[in-house]
Chain A
Amino acid sequence: MQTPIVVQEVHKNFGEVKALRDISFTVNEGELFGLIGPDGAGKSTLFRILTTLLLADKGKATVNGLDVVKDYKAIRKIVGYMPGRFSLYQDLTVQENLDFFATIFNTTVKENYGLIEEIYVQIAPFKDRPAGKLSGGMKQKLALCCALVHKPTVLFLDEPTTGVDPVSRKEFWEMLQRLRQKGIAILVSTPYMDEAILCGRVALIQNGALLKIDTPQQITREFSKPLWAVKAKQMYRLIQDLRSFEDTDSCYAFGEYLHLTLKHGEADVDKLRAYLQPKGHEQFDMVPITAGIEDCFMELMKSEKQQ
């Protein structure tokens, strides 16, 4: 069995813009590999190179041992690809879309029904509805069905959960886990950092370069600084105050809390309390917490920017 995805020192420029710089990673059999990064980081460009739609300027990439430039025809037979933009026929019904994509991949819905059954039963009640009239989550499920219908060995999902409600997002990731267990290698990209924890391994990408590749657990373990969750009644004023405090290292809003690191760790806590005292924040609360994957990413992205 060939390694599903191998990327070696891939570079890609669009004119002056460096879209990808020196990208290297591998995705192993049955692995769910996440590509995490903000919009414009180069995720879609990388996907298009791997799905043979774009040519890299430099570097080499193989999918299932097949070269993305030379063997593009063979690759197109074995991969499933779900582009970032919803790319099904909006005026065709759910059933027609599915049948169409099954046919152009030389198969039938029946033949590989086992693979898509779980997903398909959820959209089956709407099978006579035009795809354009489905909700965001349903659209993505249908697109996943279409990408899976020919039983691909490698699956490329470019931001499959963007614009999808939280419940559908959770369901979608559960489906990906089950597909992974069936032995399909999956490369998935997402701008949502909280989804990183659901991947086997993740790569953080920013401005066309990979910052780190590891398991989410290892990445969180490596977060060395003490971290606090801070809360007060007037959050906006609190974040202003904390950011203007001289020994604040970083301060980001995470839901109802602010996550705070200090330049000298524990040693600064008393100084901070003294600094905040005269500002009179009501319902002030500050508790030490262990870092989540998002804290690690924010930290990584911050240190990258400083370089």
Chain B
Amino acid sequence: MRQFFVFARKEFYHIFRDRRTLLILFGMPIVQVIIFGFAITNEIKNADIAVLDQSKDHYSARLIQKLTAGSYFRIDRNLQTPKTIEAAFREGRIKMAVVIPPRFGQDFFHLRKAQVQLLADAGDPNTATTLVNYARAIIGNYQQELNGPAALPLTINTTVRMQYNPALKSVFLFVPGVMTLILLLVSAMMTSITIAREKELGTMEILLVSPLPPHLIVMGKVVPYIVLSFINALVILAMGVWIFGMPVKGSVVLLLAECVLFVLTSLGLGILISTVTDKQQTAMMASMMGLLMPTVLLSGFIFPVESMPKPLQWLSNIMPAKWFIIILKDIMLKGSGLREVWPQTLLLTGMTIFFIVLSIRKFKIRLS
């Protein structure tokens, strides 16, 4: 037991004396969460628009006020003539232009029909569609407001409510995703590198020619990373909750227990990689290409699994990350308990046991 303790302490020395390792361990999670949380979002926030109000009556002014009331749109400029629209788009600042024709209010009340033209910069089709939909919704609301409660002729209104993430905040997807990535990176990549380093520097040779049993060598190397990964998970969760307002509806204890489970899965993968590589470079490349890339692409973190071709959907099933992301989202957003997420949990547990048993069996007690 003392051997194990001293071994783990040695591992902490390695980590804390290497500035690069420290940076990867603690700098990267924070930076990634912030980048994904703030910068890379596909939600609409303060999109710049231009307004060409040719009517300039009470109703058009109200409409513009409605558009800018939320935090979705911000008026960059007011245009005077239709000709300037093109120029405004070319400048590149505005994403959408709203054109209100002359006699907007009059038409609405007398002809019972009025037009508003929305021009969007479809150079970025996703953003354009989203912007137009948002604007339409706002205009629709305004129309109802003007019509009053006596809405005749009868119309059917569809009310869409986005369940669990009503504001469509992409951060709710990114926090579980980034957490998964970081845990995978720290646990799998760092452990495979640290074991490969012992081989590369020749210290593994001495460790093998010592009474230390192999499983103790691996445990001593791995346990410090379990601790650090867990701290990372806590940091990311805390940032998600306090900076991005991510809810944790389910049990925090269950959430953390699932984190530990996923850390173990990743460690198993990391040890497995380290048993087949003996260079730090190779270990890093193997974890990057073999783990991170498929995880980013296939776990449903960025691209929805449902819209992938069938073979890729099957392939995504063997990604531990996919199941972990599902568990995280269910617990945090839906408030699910173990009763709902047990199939995924069982699957992850199975994978973990498989990886750890396989890597212990593959761990070499000799040099070749």
Q: How would residues 3 to 29 of chain B score, 1 for a CB under 8 Å from any chain A CB and 0 otherwise?
A: 100110010011001100000000000
- Asked whether any CB of chain A lies closer than 8 Å to the CB of B209, the reply is yes
Question: By the criterion CB–CB under 8 Å, are A99 and B206 in contact?
Answer: no
Complex contacts, B367 vs chain A, CB 8 Å: 48, 53-54
Question: By the criterion CB–CB under 8 Å, are B17 and A87 in contact?
Answer: no
Among the interface residues B3, B13, B209, B211, which one has the most CB atoms of the partner chain A within 10 A?
B209
How far apart sit A73 and B213, CA to CA, in the bound complex (Å)?
Answer: 9
In the complex, the chain A residue whose C-beta lies closest to that of B210 is: A104
Given contacts A87-B202, A89-B14, A89-B203, contact A105 B210 (CB under 8 A): yes
Q: Which of A51, A53, A90, A92 contacts B10 (CB 8 A)?
A: A92
Interface of chain A residues 19 through 55 with chain B (CB within 8 A) = 48, 51-55
Question: By the criterion CB–CB under 8 Å, are B368 and A100 in contact?
Answer: no
Q: Please count the residue pairs between chain A and chain B whose beta carbons lie under 8 angstroms apart in the complex.
A: 76
What are 10 pairs between A and B in contact, CB < 8 Å?
A: A52-B208, A52-B366, A76-B208, A76-B209, A87-B205, A87-B206, A89-B10, A99-B6, A100-B6, A103-B6
Q: How many whole Å from A154's CB to the nearest CB in chain B?
A: 11
Q: How many whole Å from A49's CB to the nearest CB in chain B?
A: 10
Taking beta carbons and an 8 Å cutoff, which residues of B are in contact with A? 2-3, 6-7, 10, 13-14, 17-18, 201-203, 205-212, 365-368
Q: Which of B3, B14, B18, B202 contacts A103 (CB 8 A)?
A: B3
Question: By the criterion CB–CB under 8 Å, are B366 and A54 in contact?
Answer: yes
- Asked whether any CB of chain B lies closer than 8 Å to the CB of A194, the reply is no
- Asked whether any CB of chain B lies closer than 8 Å to the CB of A106, the reply is yes
Question: By the criterion CB–CB under 8 Å, are A54 and B201 in contact?
Answer: no
Interface of chain A residues 59 through 94 with chain B (CB within 8 A) = 72-73, 76-77, 79, 81, 83, 85-92
How far apart sit A92 and B12, CA to CA, in the bound complex (Å)?
Answer: 11
Q: Is the interface of B mostly helix, strand, loop or mixed?
A: helix
In the complex, the chain A residue whose C-beta lies closest to that of B367 is: A53
Q: Which of A76, A83, A85, A96 contacts B210 (CB 8 A)?
A: A76
In the complex, the chain B residue whose C-beta lies closest to that of A106 is: B211
Question: By the criterion CB–CB under 8 Å, are B14 and A91 in contact?
Answer: yes
Question: By the criterion CB–CB under 8 Å, are A55 and B201 in contact?
Answer: no
Q: How would residues 95 to 120 of chain A score, 1 for a CB under 8 Å from any chain B CB and 0 otherwise?
A: 01001110111100000000000000
Complex contacts, B203 vs chain A, CB 8 Å: 87-89
Question: By the criterion CB–CB under 8 Å, are A79 and B209 in contact?
Answer: yes
Q: Which of B3, B14, B18, B209 contacts A53 (CB 8 A)?
A: B209
Q: Which of A48, A96, A106 contacts B3 (CB 8 A)?
A: A106
How far apart sit A296 and B90, CA to CA, in the bound complex (Å)?
Answer: 89
Q: Which of A77, A90, A101 contacts B206 (CB 8 A)?
A: A101
Q: How many whole Å from A79's CB to the nearest CB in chain B?
A: 7
How far apart sit A79 and B208, CA to CA, in the bound complex (Å)?
Answer: 12
How far apart sit A54 and B367, CA to CA, in the bound complex (Å)?
Answer: 6
How far apart sit A82 and B365, CA to CA, in the bound complex (Å)?
Answer: 18
